[in-house]
Amino acid sequence: AGTPRRTVALWLLTLAFVATAGIAVFHVGVEQKWWEGTTACGGVRLEGLAPEEMEKAINEAPIVRCDVPAWTMFGISMAGYNILYALALAAFTFKGALRSKAA
């Protein structure tokens, strides 16, 4: 027998996993060059810094490319696996939410 609190928690988890899958789809699209990533991708925040501080922040910032997969396995990037796992977990929690609601 599912409690209302449990049912709500399962619905919220389902939504969170679907949102995670959506973000991962966006990231795969950036990696595959289907669309551009966000401007914050790999960028350095420079607002409010003195010129010397800006130069230091730019020179010391690590270069992180959002359009290049960090690693792949069997031709699928980490973001691609994230889609698979997030959708599987969304399906699992969705089923649990339906069962909890019915009980």
**Which whole number is the average pLDDT over 14-31?**
96
The pLDDT of 30-34, averaged and rounded, is 91
Selected residue with higher pLDDT from 102 and 3: 3
Q: How confident is the model at residue 16 (pLDDT cuts 50, 70, 90)?
A: very high
Residue 31: how many CB atoms within 10 A of its CB?
20
**Is pTM beyond 0.75 here?**
no
**What digits encode the pLDDT tens for the residues 59-90?**
887 777 788 888 889 999 999 999 999 999 99
Nearby residues of 29 by Cβ (< 8 Å), 6 or more positions away: 35
Distance, in Å, from the CA atom of 27 to the CA atom of 48, rounded to the nearest integer, reads: 30
